[in-house]
Amino acid sequence: MKILITGLDPSGRIFFKEYLDCEGNRISIEIHEGGRRIAYKDKSCVTVNGKDVLNGEEVESCYKVMKPLIPALDSLLSKFNSYDDEKNLEYVVRNLKGYDLEYVFYIHEEDMVIPFVRENGDLNSLSYRIIMEYERKVDERKLKKENKGERVGNRID
C-alpha cells in the first residue's frame, strides 16, 4: 500500500487520504464531522446523517460493501489519523500557521503542498486541477504497467 495524498485542515487534523494498492487502483478515504466517504475503482460509498449510499443507492453499510473490495480497509481506517510520512507532514502542519487556509493536500510522491485558500476561487481551481492531473498521471502509469504485465504497487493485506 502506497500513500499518495493526505488532506489536512489548518490545525493538522487529517480528513482525507488516498492510497495506491498493489494493482494500481486508487483507494480514497475521507472522514469529517458530517460523515465519511470510501472510494475504490468505480465505487464510492458515502455515509451522511446515518445513511449509507453507494453510487446513488442506499445500502446497509458502506463498511460491509467496501470491505470485500479493500482487504486492508480495517488497517486503513485504524491508522487514518496517523501521519504516514510523519517528518514531512509535521513540517507542513507547523508551516500552516498564520495563513488563511481552508485545507491543504500533501502529495507525498512529489513532496508538494497544494493549498486551498478561503474565498479564493481562482487559486482553489488551480489547486484542484493540480490534484486531478496528479491522479491522472497515477492512473496512466497503471495502464502502462498493465500493458507491460508488471505489478503496480505494494501488496496490501
Q: What is the pTM of this model?
A: 0.84
Cβ-based burial of 97 (10 A; exposed 0-12, middle 13-18, buried ≥19) = exposed
Q: How far apart are CA 49 and CA 82, in angstroms?
A: 25
133 to 57, 63, 126: CA distances (angstroms)? 29, 29, 10
Q: Residue 19 — φ and ψ, nearest 5°?
A: -120, 165
Q: Print pLDDT tens along the chain (157 aa).
A: 899 999 998 888 899 999 999 889 999 999 988 899 999 999 999 999 889 999 999 999 999 999 999 999 999 999 998 887 767 777 777 777 667 889 999 999 998 989 998 888 898 999 999 999 999 999 998 888 777 776 555 444 3
